[in-house]
Amino acid sequence: MQSTETHIPSSGRLAGCTLFITGASRGIGKAIALKAAKDGANIVIAAKTAEPHPTLPGTIYTAAEEIEAAGGKALPCIVNVREEQQIISAVEKAVKTFGGIDILVNNASAISLTGTLETATKKVNLMMDVNVRGTYLTSKACLPYLRKSKNPHILNLSPPMNLNPMWFKNHCAIHTAAMDMLGGAGIEKQCRKTDILADAAYCILTKPKTFTGNFIIDEVCKRIFKKLSGSQQEGADGAKPSGPVAETFRVIQGAVNEEHVRSTQGVFQFELSGDGGGTWYIDLKSKGGSAGFGKPPVAADVVMSMSSTDFVKMFTGKLKPTLAFMSGKLRIKGNMALAMKLEKMLSQLNAKL
């Protein structure tokens, strides 16, 4: 069964974040990796396949090429989650390469579509080693670094925790290479696409760290987050925001760097009225920095309210922030010292805007 919902657009919120994804050489894991890569994320591909498999497509190296082509940075690591030392080594390599780990996606799994009497003990041991022990060991290895992240997440993929039979009857199967091998020709007609899981994961991983301890079913993920969020990542008509405001934020997103983050250490939320308005943000606190439509990934230190027209003038050097504030065109709530830092950064960005 294929979803008829439109895909969730990338917001840039995972830019500079490091994701450690098990089983990311193909299937759901790779789909999540590619979704994050479009934001400019760093992806650790922790999977077993280093050499081409006789029946399953892709290796950690071909996945790395796709991730970098999508806009991310990739670190392929040979990892069998049944081997604790391989996990530890990959985590250490990730931290050395990218400086830390922000998100862990426990995606690697083993399945057997057989009844109890037909399932060998060896197969049961494999499923327990990968699905339970492997998830535990990887989480344990990543946890010290996740605790240092500004917005850490651990995402565990599993069958629905909701035991309503409707989910098991029609919705469990996702079309991957493993399903082709297990189900044979034509199985894809009975399955859903990996993009559904990638969209659901993206929804979760772009939420604040306070969103924790939840069981989310992919098919209803978007509806849940629309209710939980004060703003949407898409425009009112379902399309990506466009116009002068959106273009300004696209330029800001491309211009912010680690130096801006280091020198500013602040998160700014903008409530804009008029064409192209709504809630926008500039995050100059999280690693790498980011900017875009919607609420910021972490709590805002400063909230600025003004018209869209004055916002564009301010960010293109045609309206001084101080003058805008004194004349009542700009209202500021929160840390005024940080607001002054933003004005200083604006003078550096004006040449690019």
- Cα 56 → chain centroid: 26
- When comparing pLDDT for 202 and 154, which is higher? 154
Per-residue model confidence (pLDDT) at position 228: 46
pLDDT in tens, 263-294: 888 999 999 888 777 889 999 888 888 888 88
Per-residue model confidence (pLDDT) at position 164: 58
pTM above 0.75, yes or no: no
Per-residue model confidence (pLDDT) at position 247: 83
pLDDT in tens, 11-59: 678 999 999 999 999 999 999 999 999 999 999 999 999 999 888 889 9
- For residue 163, pLDDT over 90 is answered with no
Percentage of the chain lying above the pLDDT 90 cut? 39
Per-residue model confidence (pLDDT) at position 71: 94
pLDDT bucket at 224, cuts 50 / 70 / 90: low
Mean of pLDDT over the chain: 81
pLDDT in tens, 79-135: 999 999 999 999 999 999 999 999 999 999 998 877 888 899 999 999 999 999 999
Per-residue model confidence (pLDDT) at position 82: 97
Mean pLDDT of 164-174: 53
